[in-house]
Amino acid sequence: MLNSGLSEATGRLCQKWDDDDWYSPEFLETLVSAYFHSTRDSGRRGVVYLVETLWLDLSQWRVLGPSTELLTGSTLLFDREAWSERPFRENRISEDWWFAVDQLKTGALAVPVFAPGLYVCVRHDGAGGERSHSWTRFYEDLDTEKLRRDRRFRDVDPTAVLPDWIVSTYRELRAETRPSDSSRR
């Protein structure tokens, strides 16, 4: 699926997005700037991504963060030519992580960007059906409470982090994905 979309791209740089996550207005400018600074200084292609991102736990209505020092796949920015030489693997899960690994094996430079206010990853843990998050479908034992305790996440009210317009959108999404009282009986 990712490769199909990228085959239609015509620009020099490509940005991977997730449709349910939140990206600030400065997100793209920040990652493109990091890309050009790193490639200018190193003379190598780069794979840019955010680290230590925030998570919106939709089922508990809280923002957790920072999540990890590892690559956040839904924030990858890379050179289209590099992709054409080594495209995404046709995996069902972790295709973004494997893409980054494959790019680094070809000599690309890893360019982690620390900017926790630029992006919020939305997790649908506890939500069922079509809108449940891929992590909850592929990793059935994922326990965000345990993750929060183990990583010493801080809980923040989403209204303190996100703009009002997106808070209302996520509230609607949360209402859609919560089981009704009759389905819990």
Q: Which helix (H) or strand (E) holds 6?
A: helix 2-7
Q: What is the pLDDT of residue 148?
A: 52
Q: What is the pLDDT of residue 61?
A: 83
Check whether the bond before 66 is cis (ω within 30° of 0). yes
d(CA 48, CA 35): 6
For residue 56 the two structure tokens come to 């919106």
d(CA 95, CA 86): 12
d(CA 28, CA 132): 27
d(CA 125, CA 139): 11
Q: Look-up: residue for tokens 């059906």?
A: 129
Mean pLDDT of 8-15: 93
d(CA 121, CA 21): 5
Q: What is the pLDDT of residue 156?
A: 77
Lowest mean pLDDT among 5-9, 74-78, 138-142: 138-142
Number of H helices, E strands in the chain: 8, 9
Q: What is the pLDDT of residue 184?
A: 40
Flag whether the pTM goes above 0.75: yes
- When pLDDT is cut at 50, 70 and 90, the band that residue 107 belongs to is very high
Lowest mean pLDDT among 73-77, 79-83, 151-155: 151-155
